[in-house]
Structure 1
Amino acid sequence: MTLPSAGANAALMDWLDAERALKGAADNTIEAYRRDVAEFLGFLNQHKGESQGLSPLKEVGISDMRAWMAEARSGEISARSLARKLSAVKSFFRWRSEREGFDATAVLSTRSPKFQRKLPRPLAEDAARKVLETAEFQSREPWVSARDTAVITLLYGCGLRISEALGLMGRDAPLPDVLRILGKGGKERIVPVLPAARVAVEAYRRLCPHPLDAGLPLFRGVRGGKLSPRIIQQVMADTRAQLGLPATATPHALRHSFATHLLNAGGDLRAIQELLGHASLSTTQAYTAVDTARLMEVYEASHPRAR
């Protein structure tokens, strides 16, 4: 990949600093932005056959955007991935044009490729219950079994991301009726804690051989360090194998299941958005598509005219 010029790279770093400081973008998001925009700026160097400083960025035209997208697609990149890259490039140019006062219409008006959005893959309610019941059997060590059950109960019972559950500290226990969770982008939300989750965490705390001081991680690895997400991912892999569940039954699928089951029970979409910490309602609306798809399956299997 051709590298961007020093000036363009400096502008990219300034934008990333702004995204991190003003929007609280996560490290993984920042790295994805850096990689995607640097790739685009490097393409401009190669495409125009000259080192692209800051001034030429103001002259990027529709033909340049089309050439970049065509080259990207020739590398067999998916439409979804290209849409993500284009979104990062647009954000960078929007920020740069506002600072420099130039017209970035050619970049900002570039149409994103169409792609089929992946719907969440929640577990059925009975499958979710069986996961909670079975996770403890993946370890012979009682305190480890209690730990795994507590984490998985938090994922399904509170809709937490795995990073959020493993980010809890000793000071957070005993769990209160509601938790203040700092999610993606530094967005804080209030999450009710089910009695089952409190009971599971207390069972783990009673058995845990490591000190659970206020400033230390609540969930610990076998050697006492902070529990790795990979351990919980493996617990889910072993559990789904034991239960005969599909590969989509991951820790994150428990969060999807939390939202879908709430919606099926009549939960308000806005309330579910708040519980999940989604910045946009459109993200949460994916669960209505899941519910509609399930409804159509029932209709097609049951309605006389559909058979």
Structure 2
Amino acid sequence: MKRAGGMMATGARDAFLQWMETERRASPLTLTAYRGDLDRFIAFVTGHIGAEPDMGTLAGLSLADLRAWLAHEHAAALSGRRATTQDRAARTRARRVSALRSFFRYLARYHGVDNPAPALLATPRTRRPLPRPLARTQALDVPEGVSDLAHTPMAQIRDGALFMLLYGCGLRISEALGLDIRDLDQARALGDATKGDGVLRVRGKGDRERMVPVLPRVMEALEHWRGVHPLPHADAPLFVGVRGGRLQAGIAQRAMRTWRHMAGLPDHATPHALRHSFATHLMEGGADLRVIQDLLGHASLSTTQRYTLADEARLLDVWTRAHPHATDTPPDTAR
């Protein structure tokens, strides 16, 4: 166990986030959310003690101190009149509790800060939103639709391959953009050359690795992209931006947002919706839930079962709108 010495809270925060990114492979969204939560937490403690907290101060914080910060954040949200529902507020509190627990676990492991208070914080129960997939025709139109909006022929081929991969393999956008050219080479080597398919090795959340089949049509799009790739060596990112660096998720998200508006699709038509569409359309086609769990890289089957609930909700909505009894008006019994 390594002691932190005179490290201050902001330095520990930066070290923690760096550890989350490199060791735990946390997503950019998680890192941004945790940074914001920890910034507010450190500012709250600083305001109460009159100086930035050091490791000794963090070790001495009580459960009441942590609860006071959470209450302060809740009151600030109400006074700022931010539109929020009870469930959204619960999710925000749950994320903040998670950020604190992860931060203090890191401090205990690497800097000798042993504080049991964060582990005693109660986590509110929340309802996880159901997946909102695209229709089959919409999902199939995404690669061509988004690529048509690209400004250069190279970007058109790149975007078409990227969005074909997202829907064809159910990857998270961070997983797809984290691939290197060597991963494509390995996928081809693991596949069946006579069929033109592949098997992609993907590293997802929690550094969990999974093997994902790549259909011939998806492999064809990826190989087409590699043929015009500006840096076609094994160590290069598979998807690169205009300057040769790894393509940023925000660029891909913006491209789909632009196409979404032009195509008249709802706001939930995002790159992640293609992952939901992949799972939902497999389930509708009769795929086993355990297989879908493996393909998505879910640690728990309960996470994958949300697609079953979403399908039930969709069927109920169709029934409500289509069944004759759904529009029947009860007879007036007062006559």
TM bucket (normalised to shorter chain) is 0.7 to 0.9
Aligned to 2:139: 128
- 1:181 lines up with 2:181 in the alignment: no
CA contact (8 A) 1:37 1:88 kept: yes
Residues 44 and 240 of structure 1: CA distance in aligned 2, closer, same or farther (over 3 Å): closer
- 1:210 lines up with 2:192 in the alignment: no
Residues 280 and 38 of structure 1: CA distance in aligned 2, closer, same or farther (over 3 Å): farther
Q: Which moved more, 1:89-98 or 1:130-139?
A: 89-98
Q: What is the SS of the residue equivalent to 1:75?
A: helix
Aligned to 1:236: 256
Deviation at 1:74, TM superposition (A): 1.3
Q: What is the SS of the residue equivalent to 1:189?
A: strand
Alignment map for 1:38-187 (pairs within 5 Å): 38-47=39-48, 54=55, 60-76=61-77, 79=89, 80-93=91-104, 104=116, 107-139=118-150, 141-173=152-184, 175-176=187-188, 177-187=198-208
Deviation at 1:254, TM superposition (A): 1.0
Q: Which amino acid aligns with 1:232?
A: A
Under a length normalisation based on structure 2, what TM-score does the superposition of the two structures give?
0.73
Q: Distance in 2 between matches of 1:211 and 1:22?
A: 27
Residues 236 and 141 of structure 1: CA distance in aligned 2, closer, same or farther (over 3 Å): same
Q: Share of identical aligned residues, percent?
A: 45
CA contact (8 A) 2:104 2:113 kept: no
Residues 149 and 47 of structure 1: CA distance in aligned 2, closer, same or farther (over 3 Å): same
Determine which of 267, 276, 286 is the counterpart of 2:296: 276
Q: Which runs of 5+ in 1 are unaligned?
A: none
Residues 27 and 161 of structure 1: CA distance in aligned 2, closer, same or farther (over 3 Å): closer
Q: Distance in 1 between matches of 2:176 and 2:126?
A: 32
User: RMSD between aligned alpha carbons?
Assistant: 3.5
Query: Once the two structures are superposed, what CA deviation does each residue of 1:227-273 show, in whole Å capped at 9, x if it has no partner?
Result: 44344334323332332211221112111211221222232333222
Alignment map for 1:218-297 (pairs within 5 Å): 218-222=238-242, 224-297=244-317
Residues 198 and 41 of structure 1: CA distance in aligned 2, closer, same or farther (over 3 Å): same
Q: Distance in 2 between matches of 1:15 and 1:160?
A: 26
Query: Once the two structures are superposed, what CA deviation does each residue of 1:130-180 show, in whole Å capped at 9, x if it has no partner?
Result: 223433432475443322211110000011222332333333446522011
Q: Distance in 2 between matches of 1:232 and 1:102?
A: 42
Q: What is the SS of the residue equivalent to 1:179?
A: strand
- 1:298 lines up with 2:299 in the alignment: no
CA contact (8 A) 1:60 1:107 kept: no
Q: Distance in 2 between matches of 1:131 and 1:165?
A: 16
Q: What is the SS of the residue equivalent to 1:138?
A: coil
Q: What is the SS of the residue equivalent to 1:178?
A: strand
CA contact (8 A) 1:179 1:193 kept: yes
Deviation at 1:32, TM superposition (A): 4.2
Q: Which runs of 5+ in 2 are unaligned?
A: 1-5, 83-87, 189-197, 328-335
